[in-house]
Structure 1
Amino acid sequence: MQFLKDIKYTLHVAFHPFDGFWDLKYENKGKLRVALAILLGVTVMMILKRQYSGYVVNFNYPLDLNSINELKYIVFPFLLWCVANWSLTTLMDGEGKFKEIVIATGYAMLPLILLYLPNLLLSNVITLREASFYYLLESVAALWFVWLMFIGTMTVHQYTVMKTIVTMLLTIVVMGVIIFLGLLFFSLIQQIVGFVYTIYQELSLRA
Protein backbone atom coordinates (compact mmCIF):
# COMPACT_ATOMS: atom_id res chain seq x y z
CA MET A 1 0.00 0.00 0.00
CA GLN A 2 1.40 3.37 -1.06
CA PHE A 3 0.42 5.18 2.14
CA LEU A 4 2.35 2.66 4.25
CA LYS A 5 5.40 3.14 2.02
CA ASP A 6 5.09 6.90 2.51
CA ILE A 7 4.88 6.42 6.28
CA LYS A 8 7.97 4.18 6.17
CA TYR A 9 9.83 6.91 4.27
CA THR A 10 9.33 9.29 7.21
CA LEU A 11 11.69 7.07 9.20
CA HIS A 12 14.31 7.46 6.48
CA VAL A 13 13.94 11.25 6.75
CA ALA A 14 14.24 11.11 10.55
CA PHE A 15 17.42 9.00 10.53
CA HIS A 16 18.98 10.25 7.28
CA PRO A 17 17.78 13.89 7.12
CA PHE A 18 20.21 15.16 4.49
CA ASP A 19 19.23 12.51 1.93
CA GLY A 20 15.64 12.44 3.11
CA PHE A 21 14.87 16.14 2.79
CA TRP A 22 16.75 16.33 -0.50
CA ASP A 23 14.58 13.57 -1.96
CA LEU A 24 11.55 15.20 -0.35
CA LYS A 25 12.16 18.39 -2.33
CA TYR A 26 13.69 17.20 -5.59
CA GLU A 27 12.31 13.67 -5.96
CA ASN A 28 8.80 14.55 -4.74
CA LYS A 29 8.87 11.79 -2.13
CA GLY A 30 7.31 13.99 0.51
CA LYS A 31 3.52 13.79 0.76
CA LEU A 32 1.27 16.45 2.22
CA ARG A 33 -1.16 13.88 3.62
CA VAL A 34 1.67 12.17 5.49
CA ALA A 35 2.84 15.47 6.97
CA LEU A 36 -0.70 16.22 8.16
CA ALA A 37 -1.00 12.67 9.52
CA ILE A 38 2.16 13.25 11.58
CA LEU A 39 0.70 16.54 12.82
CA LEU A 40 -2.45 14.68 13.88
CA GLY A 41 -0.32 12.00 15.54
CA VAL A 42 1.64 14.59 17.51
CA THR A 43 -1.59 16.25 18.62
CA VAL A 44 -3.03 12.92 19.83
CA MET A 45 0.29 12.07 21.47
CA MET A 46 0.32 15.36 23.39
CA ILE A 47 -3.25 14.75 24.58
CA LEU A 48 -2.32 11.27 25.81
CA LYS A 49 0.87 12.61 27.36
CA ARG A 50 -0.94 15.28 29.37
CA GLN A 51 -3.67 12.93 30.54
CA TYR A 52 -1.95 9.60 31.07
CA SER A 53 1.66 10.34 32.04
CA GLY A 54 2.66 8.93 35.41
CA TYR A 55 2.02 11.02 38.50
CA VAL A 56 5.77 11.36 39.10
CA VAL A 57 6.17 13.66 36.08
CA ASN A 58 2.58 14.73 35.40
CA PHE A 59 1.61 17.97 37.12
CA ASN A 60 -1.65 18.45 35.23
CA TYR A 61 -5.04 18.06 36.87
CA PRO A 62 -6.90 15.63 34.55
CA LEU A 63 -10.35 17.12 35.17
CA ASP A 64 -9.14 20.53 34.00
CA LEU A 65 -7.72 19.23 30.72
CA ASN A 66 -9.56 19.92 27.46
CA SER A 67 -8.45 17.94 24.43
CA ILE A 68 -9.66 20.65 22.06
CA ASN A 69 -7.23 23.10 23.66
CA GLU A 70 -4.35 20.97 22.40
CA LEU A 71 -5.16 22.22 18.91
CA LYS A 72 -3.99 25.71 19.82
CA TYR A 73 -0.78 24.36 21.35
CA ILE A 74 0.15 22.14 18.38
CA VAL A 75 -1.81 22.95 15.21
CA PHE A 76 -1.80 26.74 15.60
CA PRO A 77 2.00 27.04 16.14
CA PHE A 78 2.53 24.60 13.24
CA LEU A 79 0.47 26.71 10.83
CA LEU A 80 1.93 29.93 12.21
CA TRP A 81 5.49 28.67 11.68
CA CYS A 82 4.72 27.66 8.09
CA VAL A 83 3.09 30.99 7.23
CA ALA A 84 5.81 33.04 8.94
CA ASN A 85 8.61 31.02 7.34
CA TRP A 86 7.07 31.25 3.87
CA SER A 87 6.47 35.00 4.24
CA LEU A 88 10.03 35.61 5.41
CA THR A 89 11.85 33.35 2.94
CA THR A 90 9.91 34.88 0.05
CA LEU A 91 11.80 38.09 0.84
CA MET A 92 15.10 36.28 1.46
CA ASP A 93 15.40 34.43 -1.87
CA GLY A 94 14.21 31.12 -0.42
CA GLU A 95 13.44 28.39 -2.95
CA GLY A 96 10.86 26.59 -0.83
CA LYS A 97 7.18 26.65 -1.74
CA PHE A 98 4.54 26.83 0.99
CA LYS A 99 3.58 23.18 0.43
CA GLU A 100 7.23 22.11 0.78
CA ILE A 101 7.55 24.06 4.04
CA VAL A 102 4.43 22.35 5.42
CA ILE A 103 5.71 18.91 4.40
CA ALA A 104 9.21 19.49 5.79
CA THR A 105 7.84 20.82 9.09
CA GLY A 106 5.45 17.89 9.40
CA TYR A 107 8.16 15.30 8.73
CA ALA A 108 10.47 17.02 11.24
CA MET A 109 7.88 16.42 13.99
CA LEU A 110 8.14 12.62 13.74
CA PRO A 111 10.63 12.28 16.67
CA LEU A 112 7.98 13.73 18.97
CA ILE A 113 5.90 10.62 18.29
CA LEU A 114 8.80 8.15 18.22
CA LEU A 115 10.11 9.17 21.65
CA TYR A 116 7.02 10.49 23.43
CA LEU A 117 5.19 7.16 23.11
CA PRO A 118 7.81 5.03 24.93
CA ASN A 119 8.35 7.92 27.33
CA LEU A 120 4.63 7.88 28.17
CA LEU A 121 4.86 4.18 29.03
CA LEU A 122 8.09 4.74 30.96
CA SER A 123 6.53 7.50 33.05
CA ASN A 124 4.05 5.04 34.53
CA VAL A 125 6.68 2.66 35.90
CA ILE A 126 9.51 4.94 37.05
CA THR A 127 10.06 6.31 40.53
CA LEU A 128 10.86 9.89 41.48
CA ARG A 129 14.57 9.07 41.58
CA GLU A 130 14.39 7.71 38.01
CA ALA A 131 12.51 10.72 36.59
CA SER A 132 15.76 12.04 35.10
CA PHE A 133 15.53 9.34 32.41
CA TYR A 134 12.12 10.67 31.43
CA TYR A 135 13.38 14.25 31.11
CA LEU A 136 16.42 13.01 29.19
CA LEU A 137 14.18 11.44 26.53
CA GLU A 138 12.10 14.64 26.46
CA SER A 139 15.25 16.64 25.73
CA VAL A 140 16.44 14.19 23.06
CA ALA A 141 13.05 14.41 21.31
CA ALA A 142 13.15 18.22 21.34
CA LEU A 143 16.74 18.39 20.07
CA TRP A 144 16.05 15.80 17.36
CA PHE A 145 13.02 17.80 16.25
CA VAL A 146 15.01 21.07 16.11
CA TRP A 147 17.82 19.31 14.20
CA LEU A 148 15.39 18.00 11.59
CA MET A 149 13.75 21.44 11.34
CA PHE A 150 17.19 22.93 10.71
CA ILE A 151 18.11 20.43 7.99
CA GLY A 152 14.66 20.69 6.43
CA THR A 153 14.75 24.48 6.31
CA MET A 154 18.27 24.52 4.91
CA THR A 155 17.44 21.97 2.21
CA VAL A 156 14.04 23.30 1.19
CA HIS A 157 15.31 26.86 0.76
CA GLN A 158 18.86 25.97 -0.31
CA TYR A 159 20.40 28.18 2.37
CA THR A 160 23.82 28.13 4.00
CA VAL A 161 24.14 27.05 7.62
CA MET A 162 24.36 30.60 8.97
CA LYS A 163 21.51 31.88 6.81
CA THR A 164 19.35 28.95 7.97
CA ILE A 165 20.01 29.78 11.63
CA VAL A 166 19.21 33.47 11.06
CA THR A 167 16.07 32.54 9.10
CA MET A 168 14.77 30.24 11.83
CA LEU A 169 15.34 32.89 14.51
CA LEU A 170 13.69 35.57 12.38
CA THR A 171 10.76 33.20 11.72
CA ILE A 172 10.12 33.05 15.46
CA VAL A 173 10.20 36.87 15.56
CA VAL A 174 7.76 37.05 12.64
CA MET A 175 5.46 34.59 14.44
CA GLY A 176 5.39 36.99 17.39
CA VAL A 177 4.63 39.92 15.08
CA ILE A 178 1.77 38.01 13.43
CA ILE A 179 0.29 37.15 16.83
CA PHE A 180 0.60 40.78 17.95
CA LEU A 181 -1.05 42.09 14.77
CA GLY A 182 -3.77 39.45 15.04
CA LEU A 183 -4.59 40.41 18.62
CA LEU A 184 -4.48 44.09 17.68
CA PHE A 185 -6.85 43.45 14.76
CA PHE A 186 -9.38 41.50 16.85
CA SER A 187 -9.19 44.12 19.60
CA LEU A 188 -9.91 46.85 17.03
CA ILE A 189 -12.81 44.86 15.59
CA GLN A 190 -14.19 44.33 19.09
CA GLN A 191 -14.04 48.07 19.80
CA ILE A 192 -15.73 48.91 16.50
CA VAL A 193 -18.50 46.39 17.17
CA GLY A 194 -18.94 47.78 20.68
CA PHE A 195 -19.08 51.34 19.34
CA VAL A 196 -21.67 50.44 16.68
CA TYR A 197 -23.76 48.55 19.25
CA THR A 198 -23.66 51.56 21.61
CA ILE A 199 -24.88 53.87 18.85
CA TYR A 200 -27.62 51.37 18.00
CA GLN A 201 -28.76 51.32 21.63
CA GLU A 202 -28.77 55.14 21.78
CA LEU A 203 -30.86 55.38 18.62
CA SER A 204 -33.24 52.67 19.86
CA LEU A 205 -33.85 54.49 23.15
CA ARG A 206 -34.51 57.80 21.40
CA ALA A 207 -36.85 56.29 18.82
Structure 2
Amino acid sequence: MKQDYIKFPLHLIFHPIDAFWDLKSDNRGRLAVAFSALVLTIIIMILQKQYAGFLVNYSDPRTLNSIQEILTIVVPFFLWCTANWAITTLMEGEGKFKEIVLATGYSLIPLILIYAPMIVISRFMVQEETAFYYLATTIAFIWFVLLLFIGTMTVHQYTVIKTVITMVLTVIVMGIIIFLGALVFSMLQQLFEFGYNIYRELIFRT
Protein backbone atom coordinates (compact mmCIF):
# COMPACT_ATOMS: atom_id res chain seq x y z
CA MET A 1 0.00 0.00 0.00
CA LYS A 2 1.17 3.51 -0.80
CA GLN A 3 0.69 4.69 2.78
CA ASP A 4 3.31 2.17 3.91
CA TYR A 5 5.85 4.11 1.87
CA ILE A 6 4.90 7.60 3.07
CA LYS A 7 2.63 7.69 6.13
CA PHE A 8 4.04 4.70 7.96
CA PRO A 9 7.64 6.03 8.22
CA LEU A 10 6.30 9.31 9.63
CA HIS A 11 4.04 7.40 12.00
CA LEU A 12 7.01 5.31 13.11
CA ILE A 13 9.25 8.17 14.20
CA PHE A 14 6.52 9.58 16.48
CA HIS A 15 4.98 6.28 17.65
CA PRO A 16 7.94 3.89 17.45
CA ILE A 17 6.73 1.19 19.86
CA ASP A 18 3.45 0.59 18.04
CA ALA A 19 4.97 1.08 14.59
CA PHE A 20 7.91 -1.28 15.09
CA TRP A 21 5.49 -3.91 16.34
CA ASP A 22 3.40 -3.40 13.19
CA LEU A 23 6.59 -3.66 11.16
CA LYS A 24 7.33 -7.04 12.71
CA SER A 25 3.90 -8.61 13.15
CA ASP A 26 1.97 -7.13 10.21
CA ASN A 27 4.83 -6.87 7.70
CA ARG A 28 4.35 -3.11 7.36
CA GLY A 29 8.03 -2.41 6.69
CA ARG A 30 9.36 -2.05 3.15
CA LEU A 31 12.96 -2.65 2.14
CA ALA A 32 12.55 0.01 -0.55
CA VAL A 33 11.86 2.58 2.17
CA ALA A 34 14.74 1.37 4.36
CA PHE A 35 17.25 1.54 1.50
CA SER A 36 15.83 4.86 0.32
CA ALA A 37 16.43 6.22 3.83
CA LEU A 38 20.00 4.94 3.64
CA VAL A 39 20.58 6.59 0.25
CA LEU A 40 19.03 9.87 1.42
CA THR A 41 21.19 9.80 4.55
CA ILE A 42 24.28 9.44 2.37
CA ILE A 43 23.18 12.35 0.18
CA ILE A 44 22.36 14.53 3.21
CA MET A 45 25.74 13.85 4.85
CA ILE A 46 27.59 14.69 1.64
CA LEU A 47 25.55 17.87 1.18
CA GLN A 48 26.22 18.82 4.79
CA LYS A 49 29.98 18.68 4.29
CA GLN A 50 29.71 20.40 0.92
CA TYR A 51 27.19 23.16 1.55
CA ALA A 52 26.66 23.70 5.29
CA GLY A 53 27.51 27.20 6.51
CA PHE A 54 31.18 27.86 7.17
CA LEU A 55 30.49 28.56 10.85
CA VAL A 56 29.44 24.94 11.44
CA ASN A 57 31.26 23.19 8.62
CA TYR A 58 34.74 22.00 9.54
CA SER A 59 35.25 20.03 6.31
CA ASP A 60 37.09 21.37 3.29
CA PRO A 61 34.69 20.97 0.32
CA ARG A 62 37.68 20.93 -2.03
CA THR A 63 38.97 17.70 -0.51
CA LEU A 64 35.59 15.98 -0.20
CA ASN A 65 35.72 12.36 -1.35
CA SER A 66 32.20 11.17 -2.15
CA ILE A 67 33.21 7.50 -2.32
CA GLN A 68 34.75 7.71 1.14
CA GLU A 69 31.65 9.45 2.50
CA ILE A 70 29.42 6.73 1.03
CA LEU A 71 31.53 3.99 2.60
CA THR A 72 31.53 5.68 6.02
CA ILE A 73 27.74 5.28 6.08
CA VAL A 74 27.07 2.11 4.06
CA VAL A 75 29.76 -0.01 5.75
CA PRO A 76 28.65 0.76 9.36
CA PHE A 77 25.00 0.24 8.34
CA PHE A 78 25.53 -3.28 7.04
CA LEU A 79 28.14 -4.06 9.69
CA TRP A 80 25.56 -3.19 12.36
CA CYS A 81 22.90 -5.34 10.71
CA THR A 82 25.26 -8.30 10.29
CA ALA A 83 26.78 -8.07 13.77
CA ASN A 84 23.37 -7.59 15.39
CA TRP A 85 21.98 -10.60 13.55
CA ALA A 86 24.98 -12.72 14.62
CA ILE A 87 24.70 -11.68 18.28
CA THR A 88 20.93 -12.01 18.53
CA THR A 89 21.03 -15.44 16.91
CA LEU A 90 23.11 -16.59 19.88
CA MET A 91 20.94 -14.68 22.36
CA GLU A 92 17.58 -16.11 21.28
CA GLY A 93 16.49 -13.03 19.39
CA GLU A 94 13.34 -13.36 17.31
CA GLY A 95 14.31 -10.85 14.63
CA LYS A 96 15.18 -11.91 11.10
CA PHE A 97 17.98 -10.24 9.15
CA LYS A 98 15.41 -8.46 6.98
CA GLU A 99 13.69 -7.05 10.06
CA ILE A 100 17.01 -5.79 11.43
CA VAL A 101 17.71 -4.01 8.14
CA LEU A 102 14.21 -2.51 8.17
CA ALA A 103 14.48 -1.30 11.78
CA THR A 104 17.92 0.21 11.13
CA GLY A 105 16.87 1.89 7.88
CA TYR A 106 13.68 3.38 9.31
CA SER A 107 15.62 4.69 12.31
CA LEU A 108 17.61 6.96 9.97
CA ILE A 109 14.56 9.04 9.06
CA PRO A 110 14.98 11.73 11.80
CA LEU A 111 18.51 12.41 10.54
CA ILE A 112 17.10 13.15 7.10
CA LEU A 113 14.20 15.27 8.31
CA ILE A 114 16.31 17.44 10.60
CA TYR A 115 19.68 17.60 8.85
CA ALA A 116 18.22 18.62 5.46
CA PRO A 117 16.65 21.93 6.57
CA MET A 118 19.52 22.65 8.96
CA ILE A 119 21.97 22.63 6.04
CA VAL A 120 19.99 25.44 4.40
CA ILE A 121 19.44 27.35 7.65
CA SER A 122 23.14 27.11 8.60
CA ARG A 123 24.09 29.20 5.56
CA PHE A 124 22.26 32.18 7.02
CA MET A 125 23.34 31.81 10.64
CA VAL A 126 25.51 34.18 12.61
CA GLN A 127 27.89 32.98 15.31
CA GLU A 128 25.36 33.39 18.12
CA GLU A 129 22.85 31.14 16.34
CA THR A 130 25.13 28.16 15.76
CA ALA A 131 24.10 26.70 19.13
CA PHE A 132 20.65 26.12 17.60
CA TYR A 133 22.25 24.16 14.76
CA TYR A 134 24.22 21.92 17.13
CA LEU A 135 21.14 21.42 19.31
CA ALA A 136 19.04 20.35 16.32
CA THR A 137 21.66 17.92 14.98
CA THR A 138 22.17 16.47 18.47
CA ILE A 139 18.43 15.92 18.82
CA ALA A 140 18.42 14.20 15.42
CA PHE A 141 21.20 11.83 16.49
CA ILE A 142 19.60 11.04 19.86
CA TRP A 143 16.27 10.46 18.10
CA PHE A 144 18.02 8.05 15.69
CA VAL A 145 19.64 6.12 18.56
CA LEU A 146 16.34 5.96 20.46
CA LEU A 147 14.51 4.59 17.42
CA LEU A 148 17.31 2.08 16.84
CA PHE A 149 17.02 1.00 20.47
CA ILE A 150 13.24 0.60 20.34
CA GLY A 151 13.47 -1.14 16.96
CA THR A 152 16.04 -3.62 18.26
CA MET A 153 14.02 -4.28 21.39
CA THR A 154 10.78 -4.81 19.49
CA VAL A 155 12.17 -6.85 16.62
CA HIS A 156 13.94 -9.29 18.92
CA GLN A 157 11.33 -9.16 21.71
CA TYR A 158 13.94 -8.26 24.32
CA THR A 159 13.76 -6.50 27.66
CA VAL A 160 15.35 -3.06 28.06
CA ILE A 161 18.44 -4.45 29.81
CA LYS A 162 18.93 -7.23 27.27
CA THR A 163 18.57 -4.72 24.44
CA VAL A 164 21.29 -2.50 25.94
CA ILE A 165 23.61 -5.50 26.35
CA THR A 166 22.86 -6.63 22.80
CA MET A 167 23.63 -3.21 21.31
CA VAL A 168 26.90 -2.95 23.23
CA LEU A 169 27.91 -6.44 22.07
CA THR A 170 26.91 -5.52 18.51
CA VAL A 171 29.29 -2.55 18.54
CA ILE A 172 32.08 -4.79 19.94
CA VAL A 173 31.49 -7.39 17.22
CA MET A 174 31.57 -4.62 14.60
CA GLY A 175 35.00 -3.64 15.89
CA ILE A 176 36.15 -7.26 15.75
CA ILE A 177 34.91 -7.64 12.16
CA ILE A 178 36.73 -4.45 11.14
CA PHE A 179 39.92 -5.64 12.83
CA LEU A 180 39.77 -9.08 11.21
CA GLY A 181 38.92 -7.53 7.85
CA ALA A 182 41.90 -5.18 8.06
CA LEU A 183 44.13 -8.08 9.13
CA VAL A 184 43.04 -10.26 6.22
CA PHE A 185 43.44 -7.36 3.77
CA SER A 186 46.96 -6.70 5.08
CA MET A 187 47.92 -10.36 4.73
CA LEU A 188 46.53 -10.56 1.20
CA GLN A 189 48.42 -7.40 0.29
CA GLN A 190 51.67 -8.87 1.61
CA LEU A 191 51.04 -12.13 -0.24
CA PHE A 192 50.40 -10.20 -3.43
CA GLU A 193 53.61 -8.21 -3.01
CA PHE A 194 55.55 -11.40 -2.23
CA GLY A 195 54.15 -13.14 -5.33
CA TYR A 196 54.83 -10.08 -7.47
CA ASN A 197 58.44 -9.88 -6.27
CA ILE A 198 58.97 -13.56 -7.08
CA TYR A 199 57.45 -12.99 -10.52
CA ARG A 200 59.81 -10.05 -11.14
CA GLU A 201 62.83 -12.11 -10.06
CA LEU A 202 61.86 -14.90 -12.43
CA ILE A 203 61.34 -12.46 -15.30
CA PHE A 204 64.70 -10.72 -14.77
CA ARG A 205 66.60 -14.00 -14.58
CA THR A 206 65.18 -15.45 -17.77
TM-score of the aligned structures, taking structure 1 as reference length: 0.96
In the TM superposition, residue 121 of structure 1 has moved relative to its aligned partner by 1.9
In the TM superposition, residue 4 of structure 1 has moved relative to its aligned partner by 5.4
In the TM superposition, residue 5 of structure 1 has moved relative to its aligned partner by 4.0
**Which residue type is aligned with residue 15 of structure 2?**
H
**Which residue type is aligned with residue 176 of structure 1?**
G
**Which residue type is aligned with residue 128 of structure 1?**
Q
2:151 — aligned with what? 152
**Which residue type is aligned with residue 167 of structure 2?**
M
Contact 2:42 2:70 in 1 (8 A): yes
1:175 — aligned with what? 174
2:117 — aligned with what? 118
1:104 — aligned with what? 103
**Which residue type is aligned with residue 168 of structure 1?**
M
- Partners of 2:43 and 2:6 lie apart in 1 by 17
**Which residue type is aligned with residue 187 of structure 1?**
S
1:19 — aligned with what? 18
**Which residue type is aligned with residue 157 of structure 1?**
H
- Partners of 2:102 and 2:145 lie apart in 1 by 15
Identity of aligned residues (%): 56
Please give the residue correspondences for 1:2-17 in structure 2 after superposition, counting only pairs within 5 Å. 2-3=1-2, 5-17=4-16
Once the two structures are superposed, residues 155-193 of structure 1 have per-residue CA deviations (whole angstroms, 9 ceiling, x without a partner) of 011111000001101111100000000000011111111
In the TM superposition, residue 69 of structure 1 has moved relative to its aligned partner by 1.9
**Which residue type is aligned with residue 198 of structure 2?**
I
2:161 — aligned with what? 162
Long gaps (5+) in structure 1: none
- Partners of 2:135 and 2:165 lie apart in 1 by 27
Once the two structures are superposed, residues 110-163 of structure 1 have per-residue CA deviations (whole angstroms, 9 ceiling, x without a partner) of 000111012112211211011100000011001000000000000011111000
**Which residue type is aligned with residue 116 of structure 1?**
Y
- Partners of 1:206 and 1:117 lie apart in 2 by 62
- Partners of 2:57 and 2:204 lie apart in 1 by 55
**Which residue type is aligned with residue 199 of structure 2?**
Y
> Which deviates the most, 133-142 or 121-130?
121-130
- Partners of 1:65 and 1:204 lie apart in 2 by 41
- Partners of 2:50 and 2:204 lie apart in 1 by 52
Long gaps (5+) in structure 2: none
In the TM superposition, residue 48 of structure 1 has moved relative to its aligned partner by 1.0
1:133 — aligned with what? 132
- Partner-residue secondary structure (3-state), 1:194: helix
- Partners of 2:177 and 2:162 lie apart in 1 by 22
2:87 — aligned with what? 88
Change (3 A) 1:44 1:3: farther
> Which deviates the most, 193-202 or 29-38?
193-202
Contact 2:4 2:28 in 1 (8 A): no
> Which deviates the most, 172-181 or 61-70?
61-70
- Partners of 2:189 and 2:67 lie apart in 1 by 24
Count of aligned pairs: 206
RMSD over aligned Cα, in angstroms?
Answer: 1.1
